[in-house]
Amino acid sequence: MLRDYREGDYFAGFADGEGCFFVGVEPRKQRANVRIGFAITQRDDHVGVLTGLQHCFGGCLSPRTPDIGSPQFLWSVRAKEEVLSLIEYFDAHHLVEKQDEYVVWREAALLYYRHSVGKAGGNSKNPDWLHEAMIAYAAELSELKKYQVE
């Protein structure tokens, strides 16, 4: 039986240590493709945790073979409904180390979902200001992720 990671703070602690919030903006012919999501990578012998997270929050699970080290699995969430489910969870179960990243990511996701046109990121009908805002959010997240010696 799979654990329900939506209950309690276990997932928040796990995400604080292993998770990655991302806002990606990829150039395309007419407009940038916006990707908003969350991911965790684990060695393949810990895939059970990722399977449980997929069961609770959706997303996809895919194998990865790094050049060095053990085979891994990546769990990633990018669909709007799944991202909103994570926002609901992290609003109720606070992060510690990644709280600043979460706040920026959450703001970017909610702004994008409120103002984007259609389902696909990169829709040419999206306003220019929205793409510029996503580029700014991506840069801000990147800054927050830089290693800093305390």
Q: What is the C-alpha separation between 38 and 19, in angstroms, rounded?
A: 7
In a domain, 14, yes or no: yes
In a domain, 1, yes or no: no
Question: Which of 76, 144, 75 shows the shortest CA–CA distance to 104?
Answer: 144
pLDDT by residue, tens only, the chain of 150 residues: 677 888 889 999 999 999 999 999 887 666 668 999 999 999 999 999 999 999 999 999 999 987 888 899 999 999 999 999 999 999 999 999 999 999 999 999 999 999 988 665 445 678 889 989 999 999 999 999 887 776
> How many domains, in total, are found in the chain?
1
Radius of gyration of the chain, Cα coordinates, nearest whole angstrom: 16
Query: Residue 97 belongs to a domain with what CATH number?
Result: 3.10.28.10
Please give the pLDDT value at position 123: 58
In a domain, 33, yes or no: yes
- 8 Å CB contact between 42 and 73: yes
In a domain, 60, yes or no: yes
Residue 150 buriedness (CB in 10 A; 0-12 / 13-18 / 19+): exposed
Please give the pLDDT value at position 27: 72
Q: Write the pLDDT tens digit of every residue in 69-97.
A: 889 999 999 999 999 999 999 999 999 99
Which DSSP symbol is given to 44?
Answer: G
In a domain, 2, yes or no: no
In a domain, 4, yes or no: no
Q: What is the C-alpha separation between 65 and 78, in angstroms, rounded?
A: 21
In a domain, 5, yes or no: no
Residue range(s) defining the domain that contains residue 106: 10-145
Which pair of structure tokens corresponds to residue 132? 């510029």
Which pair of structure tokens corresponds to residue 51? 């399977």
Please give the pLDDT value at position 28: 65
Please give the pLDDT value at position 119: 60
Ordered alpha helix ranges (H), the chain: 10-18, 47-57, 80-92, 99-115, 128-145
Please give the pLDDT value at position 70: 87
What is the longest distance spanned by two Cα atoms in the chain?
47
Q: What is the C-alpha separation between 40 and 115, in angstroms, rounded?
A: 28
Please state the pTM of the whole predicted model: 0.89
